[in-house]
């Protein structure tokens, strides 16, 4: 059926207040992303990771409590060995969670957000955006909200949830000893979210196709991490700073040591870390800054010609 | 150069005010000291490919920073207040630009939200505007599936959704079949004659300007060659006449040359266009007497837009 022009008339609009421009950009990008099956599958993977770690945490806390009651007597207090064992295992689980979820989140961001800026370049959508009363900073914030919200939802919130779960089901004496694990874990998750978001956005600003950017991002992250760990274990210690996850673990351990010096002795599993937390923090900040710089340069080139 | 056209209240700022605007891309100068006041309800921005029309539009929107001069749009300086300009201007660009994955409706809603409309208001407005531009059931389909005509309608809707005061259309009929083109031009005329925004139509198609605009700006090689009402551009010349004769036309042409005149084939069958060297119509009869021909129809020649356009471009090129 052929479309016909209908003479309905043109209506003037009343004056309106300014609204926060980045939110429609972020919401539309998220809605478009979740129409893709690959994004739903990647999101399901991150949920699965959370679920599995939650089971492990529950098991670790409950098994420890059950072990202490094997004698059949109701213990007045749990022994220091049991407390230490639980703290160590929970810390190990939370650390493992951050490591595994970082990779799952990277996969999610690669399919959901790799084309945020790259596809706008390819389809010449920049003119569509900037012929509106939109500042470059609004565009950048709107696009940045997408990976930040996704990684916040897959890293930070679940970490808080796992910690809260352990805290909620553990006996009081164990719960009191768990608190020092919160801040390092939370900051580690936030650092992972920030680094992943900034580097993905920077890669999208440089690339020209979303799919290419996504593949390069995931492979690059994996290769960099593998290279960093391998070289560091072989004695080339400086190479360890190239691995983002290794840097995050270094900073987390440093915070843990600073907050509760005695807790390090309780830890059951410790990921490989670098020698200097300050250098690791600087590397993480530098990687993030490079991503932001790439976005700034792209916008300057596209907006003002 | 100033365009004087009836619009709005007396004393209101012109739509666009340009003062010595310059823009270079490397060694290529796209805009040479462009100066004009552009005002009216529908203005055609005419010029061949590469004349600087799109560059000028991008400067007006603040998408390109001029290398010199000043450009005011609706009273706002494009360098100082680019956001204010874009809040009051709607722009439909050339080419199939789109935000991938969205339907026509979603694209227009998104455009409305980016211009500050609340989501619900943007949805209602998008449906209104899509009805206006004639995109019915297809509005729910992804824009990747659209024909060229549908793309143009969506782009026009995206430019109108936030009720701009000025609409900039860059080659809006490009790639359209004749029927779709006439429908789009009809829509522009309705906007012009109704409550719609003022329109600046950038095109190289003279017919589109003649159909929809009451004033025009002619650009060539980065300069404005003419700026004024269409009637002024096509005004009958005091030295140009359309004649019909009975006799040897070649002899009449030779006789005219003796008086400095030239003769060309006219638009109507059997008609000739005579351009004299001086503003003296008696030259026609002198030449007719010399050639032994009889003139039975003489009237002042009103140039077509094409003739006027070519004349304006050639005259300025010669002066340059």
Q: pLDDT for B217-262, tens place per residue?
A: 998 888 888 888 887 777 666 778 889 999 998 999 999 888 888 8
For B169-201, the DSSP string reads: EESTTTT--HHHHHHHHHHHHHHHHTTSPEEEE
**Tens of pLDDT, residues A66-114:** 655 554 443 545 566 666 777 777 878 888 898 899 999 999 999 999 9
Q: What is the mean pLDDT of residues A128-148?
A: 92
Q: What mean pLDDT is reported for chain A?
A: 84
Domains of chain B are 16-233 (3.40.50.300), 240-301 (3.30.70)
- 8 A C-beta contact, residue B143 and residue B103: yes
pLDDT value of residue B140: 93
Give the chain B residue whose CA is nearest to the CA of A24.
B113
Q: How many domains does chain A have?
A: 1
ipTM of the complex: 0.84
Instruction: Give the integer Cα–Cα distance in Å for A61 and A64.
Output: 5
> Does any domain span residue A61?
yes
- Phi first, then psi, for residue B99 (nearest 5°) are -105, 110
Question: Would you report the helix, strand and coil content of chain A in percent, each value rounded to 5?
Answer: 80, 0, 20
| Percent of chain B at pLDDT exceeding 70 | 91
pLDDT at A261: 64
Interface contact B146, partner A, CB < 8 A = no
Q: Which two tokens stand for residue B98?
A: 């789109």
Q: CA B302 to CA B230: how far, in whole Å? A: 12
The pLDDT of residue A271: 62
The model's pLDDT over B43-85, given as tens digits with 9 standing for 90+, comes to: 999 988 888 888 999 999 888 888 989 999 999 999 898 888 9
Chain B: nearest CA to A178, how far in angstroms?
45
User: Chain A: nearest CA to B32, how far in angstroms?
Assistant: 18
Q: What is the dihedral of CA B49, B180, B139, A139, to 10 degrees?
A: 10
Contacts of B83 in chain A (CB under 8 A): 133-135
| Interior/surface letters B292-303, b for 16+ CB within 10 angstroms, e for the rest | ebebeebeebeb
Rg (chain A; Cα; Å) = 24
Q: Which positions of chain B have pLDDT values less than 50?
A: 1-10, 320
Which chain B residues are within 8 Å of A135, Cβ to Cβ? 83
Residues of A in contact with B93 (CB under 8 A): 127-128, 131
* Mean pLDDT to the nearest integer, A179-205: 91
State the residue range of the domain holding A274: 22-304
pLDDT band at A128 (very low <50, low <70, confident <90, very high): confident
Residues 6+ apart with CB under 8 A from A14: none
Phi, psi of B145 (to 5 degrees): -95, 5
Model pLDDT for residues A153-170, shown as the tens digit of each residue: 999 999 999 989 888 888
For an interface test with A, give the residue of B116, B119, B169, B193 to mutate (most A CBs within 10 A).
B116
Q: How far apart are CA B287 and CA B126, in angstroms?
A: 65
Of A192, A24, A173, the residue nearest A97 (C-alpha): A192
């Amino acid at each position: 059926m052929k479309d016909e022009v209908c003479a309905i008339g043109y209506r003037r609009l009343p004056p309106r207040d300014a609204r926060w421009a980045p939110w429609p950009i972020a919401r539309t990008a998220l809605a478009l992303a979740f129409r893709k099956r690959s994004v739903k599958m990647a999101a399901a993977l991150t949920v699965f990771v959370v679920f599995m770690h939650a089971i492990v945490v529950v098991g670790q806390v409950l098994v420890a409590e059950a072990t202490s009651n094997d004698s059949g007597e109701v213990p007045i207090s749990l022994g220091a060995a049991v407390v230490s064992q639980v703290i160590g295992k929970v810390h190990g689980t939370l650390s493992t969670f951050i490591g595994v979820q970082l990779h799952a989140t990277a996969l999610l961001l690669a399919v959901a957000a790799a084309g945020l800026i790259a596809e706008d370049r390819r389809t010449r959508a920049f003119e569509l955006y900037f012929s509106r009363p939109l500042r470059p900073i609004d565009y950048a914030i709107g696009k940045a909200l997408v990976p930040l919200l996704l990684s916040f939802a897959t890293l930070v919130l679940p970490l808080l949830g796992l910690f809260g779960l352990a805290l909620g089901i553990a006996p009081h004496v164990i719960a009191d000893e768990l608190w020092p694990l919160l801040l390092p874990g939370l900051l580690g998750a936030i650092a992972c979210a920030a680094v992943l978001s900034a580097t993905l956005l920077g890669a999208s600003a440089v690339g020209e196709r979303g799919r290419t950017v996504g593949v390069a991002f995931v492979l690059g992250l994996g290769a960099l991490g593998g290279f960093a760990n391998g070289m560091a274990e072989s004695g080339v210690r400086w190479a360890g700073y190239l691995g983002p996850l290794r840097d995050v673990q270094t900073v987390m351990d440093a915070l843990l040591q600073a907050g509760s010096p005695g807790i390090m002795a309780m830890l059951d599993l410790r990921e490989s870390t670098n020698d200097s937390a300050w250098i690791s923090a600087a590397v993480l900040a530098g990687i993030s800054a490079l991503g932001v710089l790439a976005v700034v340069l792209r916008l300057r080139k596209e907006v003002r010609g | 150069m100033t365009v004087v056209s009836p619009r709005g209240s007396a004393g209101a700022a012109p739509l666009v005010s340009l003062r010595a605007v310059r823009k270079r891309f490397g060694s290529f100068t796209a805009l040479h000291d462009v100066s004009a006041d552009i005002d009216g309800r529908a203005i055609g921005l005419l010029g061949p490919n590469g004349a600087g029309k799109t560059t000028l539009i991008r400067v007006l929107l603040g998408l390109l920073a001029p290398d010199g001069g000043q450009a005011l749009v609706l009273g706002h300086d494009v360098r100082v207040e680019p956001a204010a300009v874009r809040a009051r201007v709607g722009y439909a660009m050339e080419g199939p630009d789109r935000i991938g994955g969205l339907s026509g409706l979603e694209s227009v809603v998104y455009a409305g939200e980016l211009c500050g409309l609340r989501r619900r208001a943007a949805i209602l407005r998008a449906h209104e505007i899509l009805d206006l531009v004639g995109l019915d059931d297809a509005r729910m389909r992804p824009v990747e599936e659209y024909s060229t005509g549908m793309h143009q309608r969506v782009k026009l809707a995206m430019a109108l959704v936030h009720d701009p005061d000025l609409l900039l259309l860059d080659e809006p009929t490009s790639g359209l079949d004749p029927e779709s083109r006439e429908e789009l031009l009809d829509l522009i005329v309705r906007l012009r004659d109704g409550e719609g925004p003022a329109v600046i139509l950038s095109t190289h198609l003279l017919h589109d300007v003649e159909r929809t605009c009451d004033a025009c700006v002619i650009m060539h090689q980065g300069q404005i060659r003419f700026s004024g009402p269409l009637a002024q551009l096509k005004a009958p010349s005091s030295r140009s006449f359309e004649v019909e004769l009975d006799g040897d036309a070649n002899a009449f042409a030779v006789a005219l040359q003796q008086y400095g005149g030239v003769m060309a084939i006219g638009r109507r069958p059997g008609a000739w266009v005579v351009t004299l060297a001086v503003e003296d119509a008696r030259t026609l009869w002198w030449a007719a007497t010399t050639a032994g021909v009889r003139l039975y129809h003489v009237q002042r020649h009103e140039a077509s837009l094409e003739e006027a356009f070519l004349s304006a471009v050639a005259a300025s090129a010669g002066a340059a």
